Amino acid sequence: MTDSATLDQLADRLRSAHAVTVMTGAGISAESGVPTFRGTDGLWRNYSATDLATPEAFARDPRLVWQWYRWRRGIIGRAEPNPGHLALARLQSRMRAFTLITQNVDGLHQRAGSTRVIELHGNIWRARCASGCGVVTDAAGEAAGDEPAGDQDPAPVCSCGALLRPDVVWFGEALDQSRIDLALRAAQDCQAFLVIGTSALVYPAAGLPRVAASAGALVVEINVDDTPLTPHAGLVLRAKAAEVLPALESRV
Ligand code: BV8
Ligand code: ZN
């Protein structure tokens, strides 16, 4: 756990900041029981995320890719926001200007009460037409009730006859320009940039802390392990997000 003096120092910095930006990764959902991407719990049938989260994998075997997403939807649908998500939602209402950027597609920040969340990589509960006819469906409501489709079910089909695909950004796909522009601006305009539960490996998201640092922000890494960002962070809280974020938020 991080010492009290460090938390007090950081809380002072957040209180005096005109704008605070936060970027989260899979590590903030770990304590909700959602597997991270690169931890040992992240494997599914011995596939890694980078094997399946690609347009090539979907073109090759859309049913396999949907089985993976349905497996994840099942876990996420049964997960609850943890104290880390909830602390960030409370923090948002206490800050003059607060932007939450997430690489996660699980929607747990919104379920915790965070608003105007920038979902850089999309959302697992939405699906969109793979041929680009414009159809987008949202299964978030189903998560509460209906059991996700069974393992053997085929990939869902759009009303235009093409396949539906998860409305997420796969490796090798460009991010939505408006989202990345919003995130860039939030990184450039803040005095404190908290980077929580990400291995800082996936670009362009992993480039945002450097943008914040070069604009003069204090970059704070909250993670249980070292990452490529650690040597560049102004402050490192080596702790679990669900433990340290409530302790920090209670001081602000
Ligand atoms: C693009 C959505 C261009 C899908 C995801 C070589 C160098 C640089 C870049 C590249 C390169 N080769 C290829 C690239 C580009 C590539 C990339 O960055 N690859 C990496 C792997 C090298 N990026 C892309 O392809 C991006 N697109 O560049 O497009 C372009 C431009 C124009 C036209 C065409 C193309 C798209 C990237 C998005 C991919 N989609 N997800 C889905 O979710 O199904 S990425 C996926 O990884 C998730 O979004 C995830 O969030 C993200 C990052 O992972 P993390 O969130 O960091 O999770 P991870 O498990 O890795 O780490 C967890 C961390 O938490 C750990 O550090 C752990 O210690 C910590 N932790 C654990 N428990 C806790 C904790 N911390 C605190 N508390 C705890 N309790
Ligand atoms: Zn369609």
Domain ranges in the chain are: 1-34+81-121+175-252, 35-78+124-168
Ligand 1 contact, 194 CB (< 6 A)? no
Minimum CA distance residue for ligand 1 atom 78: 240
Please confirm whether the linkage preceding 204 is cis (ω < 30° from 0). Answer: yes
Q: How far apart are CA 101 and CA 23, in angstroms?
A: 5
Per the CATH hierarchy, to which homologous superfamily does domain 35-78+124-168 belong? Answer: SIR2/SIRT2 'Small Domain' (3.30.1600.10)
Which atom, in ligand 1's list, is nearest to the CA of 204? 28
Which residue type occupies 75? I
Full pLDDT tens readout for the chain, 252 residues: 578 899 999 999 999 999 999 999 999 999 999 999 887 777 677 788 888 999 999 999 999 999 999 999 999 999 999 999 999 999 999 998 999 999 999 999 999 999 999 999 999 999 999 999 999 999 875 644 444 555 668 899 999 999 999 999 999 999 999 999 999 999 999 999 999 999 999 999 999 999 999 999 999 999 999 999 999 999 999 999 999 999 999 999
- For residue 65, give the nearest of 166, 143, 149 by alpha carbon: 166
For a mutational test of ligand 1's pocket, the pick from 202, 222, 225, i.e. the residue with the most ligand atoms closer than 8 A to its C-beta, is: 202
| Residue whose tokens read 């920038």 | 118
Top CATH class, 1-34+81-121+175-252: alpha beta
Residue 240 near residue 85 (C-beta atoms within 8 A) = no
Whose structure tokens read 């597609």? Answer: 105
Whether the CB of 221 sits within 6 Å of ligand 1: no
Tokens of 132: 């680009």
pLDDT of residue 39: 75
Q: What per-residue confidence (pLDDT) applies to 14?
A: 97
One fold for 1-34+81-121+175-252 and 35-78+124-168: no
Angle 90-91-94 (CA atoms, 0-180°, nearest 5)?
100
Q: Quick check: pTM over 0.85? A: yes
